[in-house]
Amino acid sequence: MAATKRQQTSADEPSFAALVPPACLWDHHITQWLHDDCPKFDAGGLVVGNQVQTASIYCKSAGVLAGVPFAEAVFKKLDCTVEWLHTEGTTISKEQAAGKEVVARITGPARNLLLGERTALNILARASGIATRARELVDHVRSNGWKGALCGTRKTTPGFGFVEKYALLVGHAGTHRVDLSSMVMLKDNHIWSAGSIAKSVAVARSAVGPHEKIEVECRDLKEAYEAATAGADIVMLDNFSPDELRRDAATFKTKFPHVSVEASGGITGETLAGYLSDGVDIISLGILSQGYPAVDFSMKLPRPEGMATKNASC
């Protein structure tokens, strides 16, 4: 495969690309995504042929650039070279987007460039949308003086959650549970099936041992006390109103200061500020990976000199 050029991130902004395992471990995703888009013949590829060209990827709406290692893997799979002109995590301003900011240049056989185009752009659009929403909300809570963790949830797209959780990190939010094997969360279905909060915690602890955290979803302060007494590390105060949350989180912390409190359920960007309090350590939001506005990207091959440009668009 051709080598990839990339700007280095700044010293105070880690490159989350280093967190992603080598592509050989998730190459099946790339193969499947490309196969979904081109299951048989590619007549467009016949039209453009194998002439080596350099295409440009343009960002046409404001947002945080994210999804770089995944989009890059798509093109590398097709033997193309990628040069990123912006570091992942960079915010593309409205002014830059209005001028159709070039964020990357891709070099390779023309047919391969177009084979990877839509898959790579879809990845960038969705990952950047999540990172943008996350960055906006994290900046919002920090401006209000809250120091807790703002996290996503497992409300992700099947087959694409890997990318969506990664995008949360680029947006400075937390991933929460990456999957069912990350931490233990006991919700109403677990508790009802086990018979009680205490029993569900005990059974879970027997499986995961003392080093893995257990979280319990609680409907009121009484259930939160039961969960903490049973050995839960985190209690989720679920679907509380802002006033109820501030009151009960503060009361709970006076009795169990070592147990983390998470707020979740029905919280939106518009209501988020009301849930910020010293007694709340974590706020999880499904909206970070559901209903976000995608960032607009396009890719273009070079236009031949002399070809009409009227009404042409990136």
User: HSE (CB half, 13 Å, CA atoms) of 144?
Assistant: 15
Residues 45-49 have a mean pLDDT of 93
Residue 2, pLDDT > 50, answer no
Which residue blocks in the chain are alpha helix, DSSP H? 27-37, 43-48, 68-77, 94-98, 110-143, 161-170, 188-194, 197-208, 221-230, 242-255
DSSP secondary structure letter of residue 219: S
Read off the pLDDT of residues 241-274 as tens digits, 9 standing for 90 and up. 999 999 999 999 999 999 999 999 989 999 999 9
CA angle 312, 304, 95 (to 5 degrees): 45
User: HSE (CB half, 13 Å, CA atoms) of 137?
Assistant: 34
For 163, phi then psi, to 5°, come to -70, -40
Strand ranges across the sheet with 297-300: 81-84, 101-109, 52-59, 297-300
Percentage of the chain modeled with pLDDT above 90:
84
With beta carbons less than 8 A apart as the criterion, state whether 281 and 149 touch.
yes
Domains, the chain, ranges and CATH?
16-136+293-300 (3.90.1170.20), 139-288 (3.20.20.70)
| Active-site annotation, residues | 155
For 291, phi then psi, to 5°, come to 80, 15
Residue 108, pLDDT > 90, answer yes
Read off the pLDDT of residues 16-36 as tens digits, 9 standing for 90 and up. 888 888 888 888 999 999 999
Between 79 and 15, where is the model more confident?
Answer: 79
In this prediction the pTM is 0.90
C-beta neighbour count of 268 within 10 angstroms: 11
Average pLDDT, the chain: 92
